[in-house]
Structure 1
Amino acid sequence: MSENTKSVCEEKVYEQLYRDHAEKIYFYLYYKFGDSEKARDIVQDSFAKLWINCSKIVIKAAKSFLYKVANNSSINELRQQKSFLKYQNTNQKTITNESPEYQMEEKEFMERLNIAIGNLKSRQREVFLMSRMEKKTYKEIAEISGITVKAVEKRMQLALLNLRKSIPNL
């Protein structure tokens, strides 16, 4: 069966769409507003809306539909409540050759960096984290965010400028 004759309403096709896109949409949403539970909820809602509208959506448009629904839901969430990205402390090496002073400076720097990233405007933070954490290209970020590559470049430029202002010698 070719892709043109398959339907999003077919359980196997729907499950494959979930496997292909759920985690990526989750990270997109998590970077957007920093709340893991909300990101999971919006992913589930997005896929529920895909299932409800499956007869109206062709397979090639399913990814765009999911990102559009997720993005619109996240915008609504952001309007209701501004939240900052929450970083979990990750345990680094327990045995290290670095001096205690170096380790303390590194920890302080990471704290300042996390605060600076959290203080970025949500659009700048979203682009910055997708680029730096997920290693997405500007073209991919533009597609996911529904903006132009030029807009991605501008947001990244502003994010970097704001981070440099917040943290001297970055």
Structure 2
Amino acid sequence: MAKSLYQNICDKQHFSKLYEKYAQSLSNILFYKYGALLNPSDKVQDAYIKLWENCAKVAPEAAKTYLYTVANNMMLNEVKHQKVVLKHHQVKPKDYTNESPEFVLRKKEFSERYETVLANLKEEDRVAFLMSKVDGKTHKEIAALLGVTKKVVEHRIYAAFNKLKDELEELRGK
């Protein structure tokens, strides 16, 4: 009986359905947690390749957990690799701009502060906030993806926005 469970995930149609069901969501979560520079879509593809290579060992009930764990571990490995790369390379900034130096400086400072505040948010608040504001997902869709209630999603988004407003004076009403 157990053997039929393991064969099911190796079926191309079942595997395709797993891809359609989880790939975009997994890619978005990796993007929100780690950013675009680490190619979250590539890590999702690699996670599915690993799942296919190990399909006989992974139970269908564990496929989602397996994919999320493998993809997250790949991203963590990439973060470690990028830290090493950054030690050996210096990014040369461009030497010209049409904007005033004061504007460029203020924009850079705001962007750094925004990224810092965003990074310091609780992970669940940041993920819900970005899914809402970047992906344009409804609270109901976010709740379904995260496995929480709509009220919890609303609270997380509200908490994230309030933290951003508290930390960034440019977002406060005048």
Task: State the TM-score, normalized to the length of structure 2.
Answer: 0.60
Distance change (3 Å), C-alpha of 1:140 and 1:70: farther
- Equivalent residues of 1:9, 1:55 under 8 A apart: no
| 1:150 and 2:154 correspond | no
Distance change (3 Å), C-alpha of 1:47 and 1:129: farther
Larger Rg computed on CA atoms = 2
In structure 1, the partner of 2:23 is: 22
Q: As a proportion of its length, which structure holds more helix?
A: 2
SS at match of 1:147: coil
Provide the alpha-carbon RMSD of the alignment: 4.3
SS at match of 1:169: helix
Aligned counterparts of 1:133 and 1:116: Cα–Cα separation in 2? 16
Distance change (3 Å), C-alpha of 1:51 and 1:137: farther
Q: Higher RCO, 1 or 2 (CA under 8 Å, sep at least 6)?
A: 1
Q: How does 1:1-170 map to 2 (within 5 A)?
A: 9-15=10-16, 17-18=18-19, 21-32=22-33, 36=38, 40=43, 44=47, 48=51, 51-52=55-56, 66=64, 73=69, 96=98, 98-170=99-171
What's the CA shift string for 1:16-68, capped at 9, x where partnerless?
Answer: 542564243122133246594899379717972994488856xxxx9xx63x5
Distance change (3 Å), C-alpha of 1:106 and 1:24: same
Aligned counterparts of 1:43 and 1:145: Cα–Cα separation in 2? 22
In structure 2, the partner of 1:3 is: none
Stretches (4+) displaced over 4 A:
33-39, 52-57, 68-71
- Consecutive unaligned residues of structure 2, counting only runs of 5 or more, are 1-7, 74-78, 80-90
Aligned counterparts of 1:111 and 1:28: Cα–Cα separation in 2? 22
Distance change (3 Å), C-alpha of 1:139 and 1:118: same
- Equivalent residues of 2:113, 2:168 under 8 A apart: yes
The amino acid that maps onto 1:166 is E
Aligned counterparts of 1:168 and 1:24: Cα–Cα separation in 2? 33
Q: CA deviation at 1:101?
A: 1.7
| Identity rate, percent | 30
Aligned counterparts of 2:164 and 2:19: Cα–Cα separation in 1? 35
Distance change (3 Å), C-alpha of 1:31 and 1:42: farther
- Consecutive unaligned residues of structure 1, counting only runs of 5 or more, are 1-6, 78-82, 84-88
Q: CA deviation at 1:15?
A: 3.3
> Is 7-16 or 124-133 further displaced after alignment?
7-16
